[in-house]
Structure 1
Amino acid sequence: MPARIISIGTALPETSAPQPDLRAFFAGQPGADRLTRRLIGGAFDASGIETRHTVLEGLAGSPDGVFIAEDGTLLSPTTGVRNDLYRSAAPPLAATAARDALTRGAVAADQITHVITVSCTGFFAPGLDYHLVRDLGLSEDVERTHLGFMGCSAALPALRLASQIAEGRPRAVVLVVCLELCSLHVRETSDPEQVVAASVFADGAAAALVTAGDIPGDPGGLVLDRFATALTREGESDMSWTIGDHGFQMTLSAEVPRIIGREIRDAVDRFLGDDPPPGIWAVHPGGRSVLDRVETGLGLEPAALHASRAVLRDCGNMSSATILFILRRLLEDPAVEGPIAALAFGPGLTVESALMHRKR
């Protein structure tokens, strides 16, 4: 039997920040000259985002003395300090998303046979996979795999691996958890690429349960038909993610949407082959311009990207977790029928694709 996603759970940090407030915060930093303020205003206003969530309470007006000074100035803690906060904040948020998936799928913790974790915004060991076993009360012989530092596209390779495990072991139930705390790497900057990154990235976690067997719980879900990976002919230097002394440094150039717009048709045509294009798409919203380029490049109807635009609007770009937020909306929408294509873009530029369909 083909593997299927039987449920998706999500979790967001308690602190939410309206996009206009974040724009005002960054534009009000002491080092922001008139040109930088114009860049910030343009990037934040064009993002397609209304609200983002963060583990940094200071971004919502509660100075913490680590990231935000009492006078509202953005501080520059070391990478070690940032990673310490990741280590404390990541496990509970990941566990919340996983519990949500278990509840929605009517699956007991002792039914989980494999755990796959995904993250690119922090490191520690024993890591998220270990803590999920402990926090959820999973069996100690659960097989664990971590996919690290693959960027925004990593959820689809994780689902691909889960599908391969499930189809090879019909009694397997795989828990996939994507956790990203992008706001931990916020910085004051006048670099246009860093301004764009600051305007879109956010925090969140999502979890999916994947199986190919008949287990107790919901018999429906999203059947995972096939996957594909492609590298664009250019873009290696336009989207990258490196570790600096004061946080991880995201390069996200203005060329990214244009590269996607130029090359997406060829990548999708090779992926779909002779299959007709689906009417519903789950596209990772790197930003509103990325969705616009995909819509134009593939000749999609506006309704095809409704869920992608809604998640961008309500949550921002949560890196790898974002595509699972989109798929959850589609999974829970009773009007969704037929094939669904998923696309996510990562450093390189890498294009990850998945084709699935709804099972009742």
Structure 2
Amino acid sequence: MQHLSQSQTQNKMAPKNLKILSNQCYHHITTNALFLIIPSLLFAAIHHLSIINLNHLYNDSLTAAAAILSLCISLSYFLRPTKVYLVDFACYRHDPAFSTARDVITEKMSTLLSPESLSFVTKVMERSGAGDETFVYGLRDFPPKSSFECAREEAEIVLCGAVDDLMAKTGVEAARIGVVVVNVSTFNPVPSLSAMVVNRYKLREDVLTYNLGGMGCSAGLIAVDLAKRLLQVQRNSYALIVSLECPTSGHYLGPDKSKLLSNCLFRMGASALLLSNRPSDRRTSKYELTLTLRTHRGADDRSYNCVYQQPDNDGVLGITISKDLPAVAGEALKANITALGPLVLPVSEKLTFLATLIRRKWLHMKGLEPYVPDFKAAFEHFCVHAGGKAVLDAVEASLRLRAWDMEPARMTLYRYCNTSSSSVWYQLAYVEAKGRVRRGDRVWQLGFGSGFKCASGVWRALRTIPPHEVDNPWLQVIDQYPISLPN
């Protein structure tokens, strides 16, 4: 009976799947009809001219040339990379009710942690680069009776808050979205959060959905890379990307200091962005995606183990953040920018780097320091993952950036703390609110994540974005920033 039931179900699903496939074929043919017809007409016209020519040898040559030309035109269209545009993006606007002072957080934890652990947590939060108040969910009834239910509520609040804002900004109908990518590291319910998006916004049945879990704070840019690849094969479509984290799902209240770090650093937040490969969307979009680059150092054991979810000696689950993290992040950054440099740096920087390398390697001038390319010559804006003060200090020193370049990252860390992979979007929102984006400006987003991974996303502004057009979480408070921070 069970076998018969499955067969009947498959028979019922077959017409629906066939209908979806036929719709996709029809959509592809109609979308590319012009580029299928033009080479054919060109070939037919040249072939006709060759027929009326009396020289048969010339006819054959002309026909062959026409066939090759037609083939080249067709291949150049179908093999060319599709341009991907960022129509707009939105960051979750935190409810003021979730704003919580640092003293309140430590007070809530004081009844659950030992004096030694509480002292450690307090020091880390004071030195993290975050402000005296950040946004925390679920602290009123801390610890929650069910961390799972609390995390699901938090996820729905920030996810839907960001997506609702995005849909209102763009005006794009949900039925036109063909790809959905949701990334969240430590909270992976069933059904998935990508299914939550489909259910809430009633997306169509053939939408491609992906739920990225456990990929850390670089997952937002990995999601962009995945969506870009999908949009290369699905023409005239939109991709919705949602990046979020649910810190309440991973609260650790044991004695292991390496696991207590996550309690001090991560806070609620989310971003949603709409990508398009429709040429007609270029004039209304904000940015064009010019490059994504991913570096994965998971083959190295130290890199793989530096951020690791595991139980402590008492069986309490938590995320261990190793002391090796700064060094591992530096190695991943070096590998990423080594690959990125040749793709984005101007010729002058490449030649200077090559000359320094030749003098050090082949002319044995060992006293000469390695040349660090000036990435300020390649980018106008930098959005570096706000993982903590130590991370930002290291990136600033490694890339020789100015305080102005790091301002979006430091102010995001100060106001929102570490919102995981969505932090680079809060930073771009800061840059827009300051009125700094001009047409042609290049933006470098840089993320780090467990595994260990480093990911880069490069965008080019398609138009100047004046502050009066900006509508994001920074709008009401932007005049208060930047804030002077202690060293």
Partner of 1:187: 252
SS in 2 for 1:114: strand
Q: Does 1:344 align with 2:447?
A: yes
1:19 match: 102
Deviations 1:97-116 (A, max 9, x none): 11111122232223212111
Match of 1:213 in 2: 278
Aligned partner of 2:148 among 79, 83, 95:
83
Distance 2:315 2:245 in 1: 18
Structure 2 CA distance for partners of 1:194 and 1:139, relative to 1, 3 Å? same
Residue pair 1:99, 1:136 contacting (<8 A) in 2 also: no
The Cα of 1:266 is off from its aligned counterpart by 4.2
Partner residue in 2 for 1:73: none
1:157 lines up with 2:222 in the alignment? yes
Q: Which residue of 1 aligns with 2:350?
A: none
Match of residue 36, structure 1, among 100, 108, 117: 117
* Aligned partner of 1:45 among 120, 123, 126: 126
Q: Is contact 2:134-2:267 (8 Å) kept? A: yes
113-122 vs 87-96, greater mean Cα deviation = 87-96
Give the Cα separation in 1 of the matches to 2:319 and 2:283: 40
In the alignment, the residues of structure 1 paired with residue 242 and residue 317 of structure 2 have an alpha-carbon distance, to the nearest angstrom, of: 21
Q: Mapping of 1:109-258 within 5 angstroms?
A: 109-214=174-279, 219-232=284-297, 234-242=302-310, 249-258=318-327
Q: Secondary structure at the match of 1:293?
A: helix
AA of the residue aligned to 1:354: G
Deviation string 1:218-243 (CA, Å, 9 cap, x unpaired) is: 71322111111223454222222347
- Larger mean CA deviation between 206-215 and 82-91 belongs to 82-91
Give the TM-score, by structure 2 length: 0.64
Shift of residue 3, structure 1, vs aligned partner: 0.7
- In structure 1, what is the Cα distance between the partners aligned to 2:157 and 2:121? 32
Select between 264-273 and 323-332 the one with higher mean Cα deviation. Answer: 323-332
Q: Is 1:301 the counterpart of 2:301 in the alignment?
A: no
For residues 155 and 124 of structure 2, what CA distance do their matches in structure 1 show?
Answer: 28
Secondary structure in structure 2 of the residue aligned to 1:335 = coil
Task: Tell me whether 1:54 sits opposite 2:123 in the alignment.
Answer: no
Is contact 1:222–1:331 with CA below 8 Å preserved after alignment? Answer: no
**Relative contact order (alpha carbons < 8 A, sep ≥ 6): 1 or 2 greater?**
1
Q: Match of 2:304, SS?
A: coil
What per-residue deviation string (whole Å, max 9, x for no partner) do you get for residues 277-334 of structure 1? 2232111111111011011111111111221112211111122222232233345553
Asked if structure 2 preserves the Cα contact closer than 8 Å seen for 1:231 and 1:350, the reply is yes
Change in Cα spacing, 1:218 to 1:288, as seen in structure 2 (3 Å) is farther
Higher alpha-carbon deviation: 181-190 or 141-150: 181-190
Q: Which amino acid aligns with 1:346?
A: G
For 1:255, the aligned partner's letter is D
The worse-fitting range, judged by mean Cα deviation, of 193-202 and 173-182 is 193-202
Question: Structure 1, residues 42-94: CA drift from partner, whole Å, max 9, x if none?
Answer: 211111112332321xx2xx336xx16xxxxxxxx6xxx32233334423431
Equivalent of 1:4, from 85, 91, 110?
Answer: 85
Q: Deviations over 1:164-186 (max 9, x none)?
A: 22233331100111221113321
- Could you tell me which residue of structure 2 aligns to residue 271 of structure 1? 340
Q: CA separation of 1:333/1:167 partners in 2, compared to 1, >3 Å: closer, same or farther?
A: farther
Q: Which residue of 2 aligns with 1:72?
A: none
Aligned to 1:63: 141
Whether the aligned pair in 2 keeps the contact of 1:284 and 1:344 (CA below 8 Å) is: yes
* Whole-angstrom distance in 2 between the partners of 1:176 and 1:248: 29
Residue 46 to residue 9, structure 1, CA distance change in 2 (3 Å): same
The 3 A distance-change label for structure 1 pair 89 and 172 is same
Report how many aligned residue pairs link the two structures.
341
AA partner of residue 303 (structure 2): G
Q: Normalising by structure 1, report the TM-score.
A: 0.85
Q: Distance in 1 between matches of 2:149 and 2:105?
A: 24
Asked which structure has the greater CA Rg, the reply is 2
| 1:212 to partner: Cα distance | 1.7
More displaced stretch, 126-135 vs 293-302: 126-135
- Say if 1:164 and 1:31 are closer, same or farther in 2 by CA, change over 3 A: closer
Q: Deviations over 1:165-223 (max 9, x none)?
A: 22333311001112211133212233322232221111122111011214569713221
| Identical counterparts, % of pairs | 21
Residue 71 (structure 1) aligns with: none
CA contact (8 A) 1:117 1:177 kept: yes
CA-CA distance at 1:156 after TM superposition: 0.6
Partner SS state of residue 160, structure 1? helix
Moved more, 149-158 or 235-244: 235-244
Residue 95 to residue 275, structure 1, CA distance change in 2 (3 Å): same
Tell whether the 8 Å contact from 1:239 to 1:250 is kept in structure 2 after alignment: yes
Q: Deviations over 1:110-160 (max 9, x none)?
A: 321211111122222222222212212332332211111211110011001
Residues 323 and 240 of structure 1: CA distance in aligned 2, closer, same or farther (over 3 Å):
farther
Would you say the 8 A contact 1:262–1:297 is kept in 2?
A: no
Does the aligned pair in 2 maintain the 1:106–1:218 contact within 8 Å?
Answer: no
